[in-house]
Amino acid sequence: IADLLPAKNGEEPTMQFLLEVVEILTNYVKKTFDRSTKVLDFHHPHQLLEGMEGFNLELSEQPESLEQILVDCRDTLKYGVRTGHPRFFNQLSTGLDIVGLAGEWLTSTANTNMFTYEIAPVFVLMEQLTLKKMREIVGWPDGEGDGIFSPGGAISNMYSVMIARYKFFPEVKTKGMTAAPRLILFTSEHSHYSIKKASAALGLGTENLILLKTDERGRVIPADLEAKVIEAKQKGSVPLFVNATAGTTVYGAFDPINEIADICEKYNIWLHVDGAWGGGLLMSRKHRHKLSGVERANSVTWNPHKMMGVPLQCSAILVRERVSGLLQGCNSMCAGYLFQPDKQYDVTYDTGDKAIQCGRHVDIFKFWLMWKAKGTVGFEQHIDKCLDLSAYLYNKIKNREGYEMVFDGELCTNTTAPSCFCTVHSIPKVAPKIKAMMMESGTTMVGYQPQGEKVNFFRMVISNPAATMSDIDFLIEEIERLGQDL
């Protein structure tokens, strides 16, 4: 690598090296969309650690040749998982958007940091405009409010708790949690575990996070919230924060935001909507009613890297109140080496002090570029298609011999893309066995898990723009093929 830039005369070898890398990558892209390619070529950890034919993961003292580096790149992709494959249904983030990919390539080439306008002028403005647009779509007048992109939904949700605490008990910032009464958070028993992580990390304590009962479809029962709020107050605690989930991780359920908002307003509690998964539905005129009432939330998490198909990582925390500068107030420490007040430009564009991070990766560009390329209508079409496919799967499974839906079909119109079902051999060991065989054969991937008293069942996620009805058919056939010998 001594020949590469910044070496003298390094231009030629650098261009040649990068183009060889691009050839490896574009071949990978092509094959990812080819259904005859496997989704993965599974190996156990010990196998990869022992080294596969010239692929040695160990780091060494001396440099490798550029030829070996190219081989390493090829092997890294070979033994990985093709998350963009049309038959990869395993996680909430699937798919490989070509424009988003180009955006990420550019982002890494620009290799800068979001903390100041000084070193990221274009990206800072793109972030500002995109956040405003997202707030408009949430339904806040003129897109007013605040927000920031964070490294993921868990951190976005953590922000929401921090901001709520700062809003009601700003002295916690300086004096710590002992300056506040016992604060209580509420969230659905089906909600994402990041709310629990936040309550542990921020010093509130997981025991002060109250889990709310859900109906058979996995939606919070508002009466249970109100009862528990009253109970907490009777015990002398302060109900601080309610999380309503828009698209739960497993069932894809939407909590009834309006009814929850009524209770939050009545008792003066911060309402957060975790739309990490379901936020994408706001782009669809047909489906956005599932988040009806979201405009009443004080804060919203929305991950474009999930249902909208933006490459990882891309998550936004949106805050309704702007005037008081909650986000800034909550996190700012005014570091003199970054946020000098005497710069020549308008320093209100230096947004770094709003973050709990210092350096912050540029997550905006790929999303901005995809939005340019698709238009708002393009995202809408994608969301509508995902929901159509979800309905297709539901109808296919509903009356099929050997399967049952995990939750009541009548309510299915209130769901989003994840569809949960199990085979009738729904003893806890069947799903793991089928999944293991699926990974060994590498033909498709779908997740499974237990939930509450339910045994291991499959959770089918549809967010991949490349998936079609035939891929859904394939998945079902594959489950049946693999399950035959059990």
Total residues in contact with a second copy, by rule CB under 8 A = 168
Is 211 an interacting residue with respect to a second copy (CB under 8 A)?
no
Q: Which is nearer to a second copy, 254 or 339 (CB)?
A: 339
Residue 245 CA to residue 191 CA, distance in Å, equals 6
Is 455 an interacting residue with respect to a second copy (CB under 8 A)?
no
Is 376 an interacting residue with respect to a second copy (CB under 8 A)?
yes
Is 249 an interacting residue with respect to a second copy (CB under 8 A)?
yes
Interface region with a second copy, contact rule CB under 8 A, candidates 226-234, 254-262, 350-358, 478-486: 350-358
Q: Which of 37, 143, 168, 203 binds a second copy (CB under 8 A)?
A: 203
Is 66 an interacting residue with respect to a second copy (CB under 8 A)?
yes
Is 30 an interacting residue with respect to a second copy (CB under 8 A)?
yes
* Beta strand residue intervals within 181-222, DSSP E: 183-188, 209-212
Nearest alpha-carbon partner for 313 in 43, 107, 88, 98: 107
Q: Which is nearer to a second copy, 412 or 455 (CB)?
A: 455
| Binding to a second copy, residues 296-315 (CB under 8 A) | 305, 311-313
Structure tokens at 93: 């983030």
Is 432 an interacting residue with respect to a second copy (CB under 8 A)?
yes
How far are the Cα atoms of 37, 86, 311 from residue 31, in angstroms, in the given order? 6, 11, 18
Q: Which of 87, 135, 167, 192 binds a second copy (CB under 8 A)?
A: 192
| Binding to a second copy, residues 31-60 (CB under 8 A) | 33, 42-46, 48-49, 57-60
Q: Could you give the dihedral angle defined by the CA atoms of residues 390, 393, 395 and 401, in that order, rounded to the nearest 10 degrees? A: -150
Is 25 an interacting residue with respect to a second copy (CB under 8 A)?
yes
Interface region with a second copy, contact rule CB under 8 A, candidates 227-235, 289-297, 316-324, 442-450: 442-450
| Binding to a second copy, residues 386-425 (CB under 8 A) | none
Is 325 an interacting residue with respect to a second copy (CB under 8 A)?
no
Alpha carbon distance, N-terminus to C-terminus of the chain? 52
Is 427 an interacting residue with respect to a second copy (CB under 8 A)?
no
Cβ atoms of 100 and 94 within 8 Å: the answer is: no
Q: In the bound complex, what is the minimum distance in angstroms from residue 391's beta carbon to a second copy?
A: 20
Query: Which helix (H) or strand (E) covers residue 381, if one does?
Result: helix 364-398
Q: Which is nearer to a second copy, 52 or 226 (CB)?
A: 52
Nearest alpha-carbon partner for 406 in 455, 363, 349, 443: 455
Residue 16 CA to residue 5 CA, distance in Å, equals 11
Q: In the bound complex, what is the minimum distance in angstroms from residue 265's beta carbon to a second copy?
A: 26
- Binding to a second copy by CB under 8 A, coded x per residue (else -) over 260-299, reads ----------------------------------------
Backbone torsions φ then ψ of 230, nearest 5 degrees: -60, -40
How would DSSP label each residue in 295-354? GG-SEEEE-TTSTT-PPSP-EEEEES--TT-HHHHHH----TTT--TT-SS-GGG--GGG
- Angle ∠(416,369,11) on CA atoms, nearest 5: 135
Pairing label, strands 315-319, 299-302: antiparallel
Q: In the bound complex, what is the minimum distance in angstroms from residue 259's beta carbon to a second copy?
A: 26
Structure tokens at 136: 């408009």
Is 141 an interacting residue with respect to a second copy (CB under 8 A)?
no
Residue 292 CA to residue 285 CA, distance in Å, equals 12
- Binding to a second copy by CB under 8 A, coded x per residue (else -) over 160-189, reads --x---------xxxxxxxx--xx------
- Binding to a second copy by CB under 8 A, coded x per residue (else -) over 118-137, reads xxxxxx-xx--xx--x----
Which residues, at least 6 apart from 151, have a Cβ–Cβ distance to it below 8 Å?
313, 315, 357, 361, 363
Q: In the bound complex, what is the minimum distance in angstroms from residue 189's beta carbon to a second copy?
A: 12
Structure tokens at 393: 């799967």
Q: Which of 233, 258, 266, 345 binds a second copy (CB under 8 A)?
A: 345
Pairing label, strands 183-188, 146-150: unpaired
Interface region with a second copy, contact rule CB under 8 A, candidates 76-84, 221-229, 289-297, 395-403: 76-84
Is 451 an interacting residue with respect to a second copy (CB under 8 A)?
yes
Interface region with a second copy, contact rule CB under 8 A, candidates 109-117, 219-227, 265-273, 397-405: 109-117
